[in-house]
């Protein structure tokens, strides 16, 4: 359900995977959730400087809610054209974040390839890239006994709105080369015509459930 627009200036905690995390803590078994995001929103990283990364006045004027997630990284724009891929894993200690990042990203890449969405790879710390353009970003969170990965994949995301609500990030991978959003990101439905978030969600969810790694 879309939040009350009257409350949108308040930054909320990203809680859309709460049930996923609760199940992992209760069962000790890895869990996966794949779903198109329900409405336009901006999600900031745990350490994001909101005024440097997000055009907050425009978000307030346009009733675009702003959330803060558990994981790191810079702010992202989400809408119903964006697929969320979340994995929660039991994990001892707090180290090995890059290894787990790579493990989860590789599962997503393999799942894409299984549906004929080939050519996607990892670049930067954890970006999903097609050619030299970003098609997905991810973040990671570690707590005692738990590893939580979440990625946002640009299937048919409104890139004009992304440009409208996000500033150029204060940190960027070297392959970006200072490119603006319009030249740095692309949508999967432009490379694979006819791809929809719903179909992609169903196919990727099936793959990840059958291939937990």
First-residue to last-residue Cα distance in the chain: 33
| CB distance 36 to 82 below 8 Å | yes
E strand spans, the chain: 12-13, 31-36, 41-44, 66-68, 76-78, 82-91, 120-123, 127-130, 133-143, 145-154
What does the block give as tokens for 213? 């790694």
Q: Maximum CA pair distance of the chain?
A: 44
Tell the residue number behind the tokens 């930067």, with chain if given: 124
Hey, what CATH topology would domain 5-210 get? BirA Bifunctional Protein; domain 2 (3.30.930)
Model pTM score: 0.91
Return d(Cα 149, Cα 132) in angstroms, integer.
23
pLDDT at 212: 58
Tens-digit pLDDT string for the chain (213 aa): 454 444 445 799 999 999 999 999 899 999 999 999 999 999 999 999 999 999 999 999 999 999 999 999 999 999 999 999 999 998 876 567 788 888 999 999 999 999 999 999 999 888 999 999 999 999 999 888 889 999 999 999 999 999 999 999 999 999 999 999 999 999 999 999 999 999 999 999 999 987 755
- 68: exposed, middle or buried (C-beta count within 10 Å: 0-12, 13-18, 19+)? middle
Per-domain residue ranges for the chain?
Answer: 5-210
């Amino acid at each position: 359900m879309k939040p009350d627009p009257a409350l949108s200036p308040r930054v909320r905690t990203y809680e859309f995977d709460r049930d996923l995390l609760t199940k992992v803590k209760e069962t000790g078994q890895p869990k996966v959730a794949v779903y198109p995001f329900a409405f336009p929103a901006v999600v900031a990283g745990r350490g994001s400087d909101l005024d440097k990364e997000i055009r907050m006045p425009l978000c307030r004027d346009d009733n675009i809610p702003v959330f803060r997630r558990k994981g790191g990284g810079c702010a992202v724009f989400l809408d119903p054209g964006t697929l969320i891929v979340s994995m929660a894993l039991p994990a001892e200690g707090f180290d090995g974040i890059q290894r787990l990042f790579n493990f989860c990203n590789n599962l997503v890449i393999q799942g894409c390839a299984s549906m004929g969405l080939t050519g996607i790879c990892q670049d930067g710390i954890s970006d999903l890239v097609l050619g030299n353009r970003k098609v997905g970003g991810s973040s990671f969170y570690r707590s005692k006994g738990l590893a939580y990965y979440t990625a946002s994949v640009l299937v048919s995301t409104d890139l004009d709105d992304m440009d409208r609500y996000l500033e150029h990030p204060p940190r960027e991978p070297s392959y970006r080369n200072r490119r603006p959003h319009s030249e740095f990101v692309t949508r999967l439905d432009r490379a694979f015509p006819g791809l929809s978030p719903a179909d992609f969600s169903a196919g990727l969810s099936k793959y990840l459930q059958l291939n937990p790694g």
